[in-house]
Amino acid sequence: MRASLPQAKALRGATTASRGADVVRGHARAGARARLAHWTYWPRLGPRRRDTLRVGVWPNHVTGSENPYQTIVYAGAPVQVVPFWHLCDALRLHRLGQIDLLHIHFDEGYAYQATPDTDAEAAQAHIAMLRAFRARGGRYVWTLHNTNPAVYAERPGFALMRRHMAETSDLIVVHTPAAAAYLRAGFAVDPARIVLIEHPSFLGWIGALPAATPPPARRRFLQFGDIKAYKGVNRALAGFAELSCPERAEYIIAGKPDAGVTLDLARFPDDGVLRTSLERVPEADVPGLFAGADFTLLAYDRLLTSGVALMSVSYGVPVIAPAFGEMAGSLPTELGPLLYDPDAPDGLRRALEYACTMPADAHLALQHACRAFAERIAPEVQARKLMAALGTAGLLPGDPMIAGGAP
In a domain, 111, yes or no: yes
List of long-range contacts for 355-362, beta carbons under 8 Å, 24+ apart: 355/219, 355/221, 355/294, 355/295, 355/318, 355/320, 356/219, 356/243, 356/245, 356/248, 356/249, 357/245, 357/248, 358/215, 358/219, 360/214, 360/215, 361/214
Residue 83 φ/ψ region, left for φ over 0, alpha for ψ in the -120 to 50 degree band, beta for the rest: beta
What pLDDT score does 154 carry? Answer: 65
In a domain, 4, yes or no: no
Q: Are residues 313 and 246 in the same domain?
A: yes
C-alpha closest to that of 146 among 119, 170, 179, 114? 179
What pLDDT score does 20 carry? Answer: 64
- Number of neighbouring beta carbons within 10 Å of residue 278: 15
What pLDDT score does 323 carry? Answer: 87
Q: What are phi and psi of 181, to 5 degrees?
A: -65, -40
Helices of type H across 250-339: 286-291, 307-314, 325-328
Q: Are residues 180 and 240 in the same domain?
A: no
In a domain, 8, yes or no: no
Q: Are residues 325 and 185 in the same domain?
A: no
What pLDDT score does 317 carry? Answer: 97
Pairing of strands 140-143, 101-104: parallel
Q: Are residues 192 and 228 in the same domain?
A: no
Q: Angle 127-161-387 (CA atoms, 0-180°, nearest 5)?
A: 90
Q: What is the CATH number of the domain that holds 233?
A: 3.40.50.2000
Q: Are residues 160 and 302 in the same domain?
A: no
Q: Is 290 exposed, middle or buried (0-12, 13-18, 19+ CB in 10 A)?
A: buried
Please count the residues of the chain.
407
Q: 0.85 cut: is pTM over it? A: no
What pLDDT score does 14 carry? Answer: 29
Please report which helix (H) or strand (E) contains residue 45, including its range. helix 32-45
Cα 226 from Cα 214, distance rounded (Å):
29
Q: Are residues 304 and 386 in the same domain?
A: no
What pLDDT score does 238 carry? Answer: 87
Q: What is the CATH number of the domain that holds 101?
A: 3.40.50
In a domain, 14, yes or no: no
Helices of type H across 292-378: 307-314, 325-328, 347-357, 360-376
Q: Are residues 218 and 328 in the same domain?
A: yes
Q: How many domains does the chain have?
A: 2
Q: Are residues 116 and 181 in the same domain?
A: yes
Q: Are residues 188 and 252 in the same domain?
A: no
Q: Could you read off the pLDDT of 352-407 as tens digits, one per residue?
A: 999 999 999 999 999 999 999 999 999 999 999 999 999 999 998 764 443 333 33
Give the domain range for residue 299.
Answer: 204-376
In a domain, 244, yes or no: yes
Tell whether omega for the bond before 215 is within 30 degrees of 0, i.e. cis: no
In a domain, 228, yes or no: yes
CA atoms within 13 A on the CB side of 32: 0
Q: Are residues 231 and 289 in the same domain?
A: yes
Q: Are residues 388 and 367 in the same domain?
A: no
Cα 46 from Cα 157, distance rounded (Å):
36
What pLDDT score does 203 carry? Answer: 92
Q: Are residues 178 and 228 in the same domain?
A: no
Cα 64 from Cα 60, distance rounded (Å):
9
- What residues in the chain have per-residue pLDDT under 50? 1-18, 25-26, 28-30, 399-407
In a domain, 131, yes or no: yes
3-state secondary structure of 277: strand
What pLDDT score does 402 carry? Answer: 38
